[in-house]
Amino acid sequence: MLAMQHSNSSGITASFPLSNYTVVVQEPEVEAVVAHNATRPPGKPTAAGLTMTLGILFNVVALIILAKAYNRFRRRSKATFLLFASSLVATDLAGHVIPGALVLSRYSASSTSTGDPSSSFRGYIADPDASCLFLGGCMVFFGLCPLFLGCAMAAERCMGVTRPLLHARLVTTARTKMALTLIWLLALCVAVLPFFNLGAYTYQYPGTWCFIRVMEGTKATDLAFVMLFSGLALSSLGLAFVCNTISGITLVRARLKKRSCSQRCSARSHDTEMVVQLVGIMVTSCICWSPLLIFGLTSATRSYTNSLHSDRDTYRGLMVTGVRMATCNQILDPWVYILLRRAILRKIYRITKKQASFKGSTFRSIRWDASPFQNSEKNCVNKI
């Protein structure tokens, strides 16, 4: 999916001007509006391949760190959280590799194809092939999975912080694995709905990626599918926000009480670390996925009511911007866990504290050095 970002980015800036559209054909339900250069390859996908490789490396590094942490910590709550986090990073890795490889393959095919670009892109819209259908399903599946997992992790931590005894009795490793399986099955069921005539996947501008049909010829089933996809995703983000807020408030209250039990303080320290990581994941998901969800729903609604018209070019650009931001989620999720670990936060705190103490000592030394000069100056004035 990350490769999609670069191929689309290059296409927008170099080979696909948004103001250069021409109406090619009108049919009863489909108005194919395409660019002159809609399928011209924007150049060699070297940057896309490099970024995809770096994304794979980051996710693998995060998986290694999580695996070591899972073997080290045997506390049930921490182990459950690490199992969820490992599943999230593994899902991001798969969502980075599989759609990215498809986009690079489509990108390479476009770079070697010849013929009229306009008629070629029109053909893609009218008759998406099997690879487009699979890519569209991957976009929906790997889009919902991280949001569902983030919501489940937030709910699990909220129960662990507010109801620790109930959490210890209900949450087990076996039930956690069952919950993960149900999350993946739910996302898969939503992704395959277009194969049962509820919605449809089609090529999106500039022809290098596929998603739900939201621009040309949007039907009632397409609008219902977009509403389902966006509703589930936004509801997951909202529920994660509520759970993380409750967990944060509970931890702050416990911190203010200043309990003396060291074991309890250690447990609260682990809880604080996990909640901070969850907040980071939630914020990242909100920033990366909200634009695509909102732009897709708005585009489908306006296309269904035939009110796009002159704004079609604008919404095409918004959809490309949205998918670029969505692909960043899979590259940022592992870094959220890597950088927001307790060991890293402690190092940052110590460095910041040292810098602050150094500046304070320097300021005090300057004042100390300046005071003899001021005293001597006062003595000279008194003598005069």
At 246 the pLDDT is 93
Q: How far apart are CA 83 and CA 78, in angstroms?
A: 9
pLDDT of residue 76: 59
Q: What share of the chain is helix, strand, coil (3-state, %, to 5)?
A: 80, 5, 15
- Does residue 55 contact residue 331 with C-beta atoms inside 8 Å? yes
Confidence of residue 74 (pLDDT cuts 50, 70, 90): low
Strands (E), 19-152: 21-26, 31-35
For residue 36, pLDDT beyond 60: no
CA-nearest of 198, 230, 229, 219 to 306 is: 219
- Top-confidence range, 52-66, 90-104, 289-303: 289-303
Question: Which pLDDT value is given to residue 56?
Answer: 83
Which of the two residues, 99 and 115, has the higher pLDDT score? 99
**Higher per-residue pLDDT: 221 or 38:** 221
Task: Name the token pair of 180.
Answer: 């993960």
Distance, C-alpha 11 to centroid of its chain:
22
- 43 pLDDT band (50/70/90 cuts)? very low
CA 242 to chain centre: 19
Of the listed ranges 64-68, 84-88, 278-282, the one predicted with least confidence? 64-68
User: Which residue type sits at 174?
Assistant: A
- Residue 184, both tokens: 């993946």
The SS3 of residue 202 is strand
* Residue written as token pair 């004035």: 381
pLDDT for the residue numbered 28: 41
| 264-322 confidence digits (pLDDT tens) | 555 566 677 788 888 888 999 999 999 999 999 999 888 888 887 778 888 888 888 88
Give the global pTM. Answer: 0.74
Strands (E), the chain: 21-26, 31-35, 201-204, 209-212
Confidence at 42, pLDDT banded by 50, 70, 90? very low
Residue range 139-185, pLDDT digits in tens: 999 999 999 999 999 999 899 888 888 888 888 888 999 999 999 99
Residue 257: band (very low, low, confident or very high) from pLDDT cuts 50, 70, 90: confident
Query: Model confidence over 326-376: pLDDT tens digits?
Result: 888 888 888 887 777 766 767 776 787 777 666 655 545 555 454 554 555
212 has which bridge partners? 201
Q: Does CATH number 1.20.1070.10 belong to domain 47-108+127-258+269-349?
A: yes
Contact 62, 92 (CB under 8 A): no
